[in-house]
Amino acid sequence: MHIDRILKAATLGLACAAAPLAVPAPEAQTLRVVQGAVGRTLSVPMNRAVVVESEMPFAELSIANPAIADISSLSDSTIYVLGKAPGTTTLTILDENGRLISNVDVRVSADVSEFKERLQQILPGEDIEVRTANDGIVLSGQVSSVQKLDRALELAQRYAPDRVSNLMTVGGVQQVMLKVRFAEMQRSVSKALRSSLSVIGDGFGGDLGVRAGAGAGVGAGAVGAVSPQAGSTGAALLGFDVGGLEVGILLEALESKGVVRTLAEPNLTALSGQEARFLAGGEYPIPIAQDEGSISVEFKPFGIELDFVPRVVDGDLINLELQTAVSAIDPANGVQIDAFQIDAFTRREASTTVELRDGESFAIAGLLQDDFSDINGQVPWLGDVPVLGALFRSAEYQRSQTELVIIITPHLVTPTKGEALALPTDRVRPPSEKDLFLYGRVSDGTRRPKAGAAGEVARQDFNGSYGYVMD
């Protein structure tokens, strides 16, 4: 018996030496065993040890699966249990007469005490529960953001590679409404000043005709054989005869100004991490020649385009990955292919990734395009003559400016009850035949809820927000 204890003590020393030194061993847990029963299931961390005490002296110990746990007796009433591999086995304790004192369920699981400590240091305040399942780790509870969930999973993988079960949920609002404002201004200015001089008469026995100046046109019956160009908004035509000589002077002036304003405010909602797309415009057919000689039609979208992927990073911090474009049909730069007239497109687009909080705004794109051109034409030598040279010169000036600004504003939103929603069409009622034909009314008044949430929304302007509750 004494030799057996020495051998067991030596085996215990080797097992302790083989245990990882990087993980500090906790104080041994004590489980008291009474006659025929045990206080609870014995839980042993892997590569850790616990001490089991029996109220009755025992003479023999037996472990069902030595690969899961190793045992050794420290005295006739104390047992040392070392966890070796994840699993569950049975420890049998017998007295000196071979009678059963107790069967103890030994459950060996991965050691997560250090993992729990590191998890609290890295993610303080997060409600994360850590459990063991066989040789893996189970995470449950609720975290405040997807980013913190990913951090917890990444840390768990270091302790149990490919053996982590994720039962965690993400709290807070996870739906994002993106409000985008497109504002574009186009300004154009065009000025032109032209002059023409013509002299027609008989000389040297034949017709003599001289026409000078830039941009002069010849019209039948016009004075001096000059006439204003088509589209001229200001023209002065002077003519006189000197004997058989006819003299005509034409002065033309043109000035045009134009302003175009384009504004769109699309609102689009998406779940965190999911893509959302928006198109306000249309699709333009483009013929495509095939190898076998046939022609197919491909449709190209144009208008206001928006693609974005929102990600709620932490609380109300939102990461936005977005692509947006503003395009329009441009017939002036089209091409003619056989019997097909294919228009061109003007397109301005932006692609970026930004981070901002709920309700904050970014001007993600701004474009200022300024085109300027001027042309000065004259009759050689005659246009350089002082004062009178102006009659032989023509000048044109054009300037075009385009400015585009794109502003984005994300909001965290939650759904609301259907009866609290109102549409612009809810306020208009079709007219009766009497109202339409007798009074010329295109609608029979308006109808709107008087009370409740729907009544509050119905009193809003058409530009109000519908369908969401802003946090």
Residues 137 and 268 in one domain: no
Give a yes or no: residue 211 inside a domain.
Answer: no
- pLDDT in the model for residue 12: 46
Give a yes or no: residue 144 inside a domain.
Answer: yes
230 contact partners, CB below 8 Å, separation of at least 6: none
- pLDDT in the model for residue 336: 83
Is the pLDDT at 89 greater than 60? The verdict is: yes
Q: Is residue 78 a contact partner of residue 32, using CB atoms and an 8 Å limit?
A: no
Give a yes or no: residue 85 inside a domain.
Answer: yes
Is the pLDDT at 311 greater than 60? The verdict is: yes
Is the pLDDT at 216 greater than 70? The verdict is: no
CB atoms under 10 Å from CB of 83, counted, come to 25
Residues 349 and 272 in one domain: yes
| Per-residue pLDDT band at 231 (split at 50, 70, 90) | low
| Per-residue pLDDT band at 31 (split at 50, 70, 90) | low
- pLDDT in the model for residue 433: 82
Give a yes or no: residue 295 inside a domain.
Answer: yes
Among 76, 71, 46, which Cα is nearest to 59's? Answer: 76
Residues 264 and 332 in one domain: yes
| Per-residue pLDDT band at 188 (split at 50, 70, 90) | confident
CATH number at residue 103: 2.60.40.1380
Note down the domain range covering 301. Answer: 178-182+260-374+394-413
| Per-residue pLDDT band at 14 (split at 50, 70, 90) | very low
Token pair listed for 399: 């300037």
Select, from the ranges 167-176, 246-255, 300-309, 437-446, the one with the highest average predicted confidence (pLDDT). 300-309
Amino acid at 383: G
Is the pLDDT at 286 greater than 60? The verdict is: yes
- pLDDT in the model for residue 74: 87
Is the pLDDT at 260 greater than 70? The verdict is: yes
Among 390, 395, 386, 391, which Cα is nearest to 212's? Answer: 391
- pLDDT in the model for residue 145: 75
Residues 299 and 440 in one domain: no
Residues 274 and 399 in one domain: yes
- pLDDT in the model for residue 457: 55
Give a yes or no: residue 57 inside a domain.
Answer: yes
Average pLDDT over residues 143-171: 83
Average pLDDT over residues 116-145: 83
| Per-residue pLDDT band at 172 (split at 50, 70, 90) | low
Is the pLDDT at 229 greater than 70? The verdict is: no
CATH number at residue 119: 3.30.1340.30
- DSSP 8-state symbol, 26: P
pLDDT digit string, tens, across residues 412-430: 888 877 666 666 676 677 7
417, with CB counted inside 10 A (0-12, 13-18, 19+), is: exposed
How much of the chain, in percent, has pLDDT values that exceed 90? 2
Give a yes or no: residue 93 inside a domain.
Answer: yes
| Per-residue pLDDT band at 113 (split at 50, 70, 90) | confident
Least confident range from 92-101, 158-167, 191-200: namely 191-200
Residues 405 and 296 in one domain: yes
pLDDT digit string, tens, across residues 336-359: 877 778 888 888 888 899 998 888
Cα atoms in the Cβ-side hemisphere of radius 13 Å centred on 34:
3
- pLDDT in the model for residue 461: 53
Residues 271 and 364 in one domain: yes
Is the pLDDT at 467 greater than 60? The verdict is: no
Least confident range from 140-149, 225-234, 239-248: namely 225-234
Give a yes or no: residue 246 inside a domain.
Answer: no
Average pLDDT over residues 93-106: 85
Residues 450 and 403 in one domain: no
Residues 440 and 308 in one domain: no
- pLDDT in the model for residue 32: 64
CA dist list (Å): 272 to 203, 234, 302, 362, 404: 89, 61, 27, 19, 29
Average pLDDT over residues 393-412: 85
367 vs 176, residue with greater confidence = 176
Average pLDDT over residues 260-266: 77
Give a yes or no: residue 196 inside a domain.
Answer: no
Count the domains in the chain: 4
Q: Looking at 415-448, which runs of residues are DSSP E strands? A: none
The model's pTM: 0.54
Average pLDDT over residues 249-268: 78
Calpha distance 93→103 (Å, rounded): 6
21: left (phi over 0), alpha (psi -120 to 50) or beta: alpha
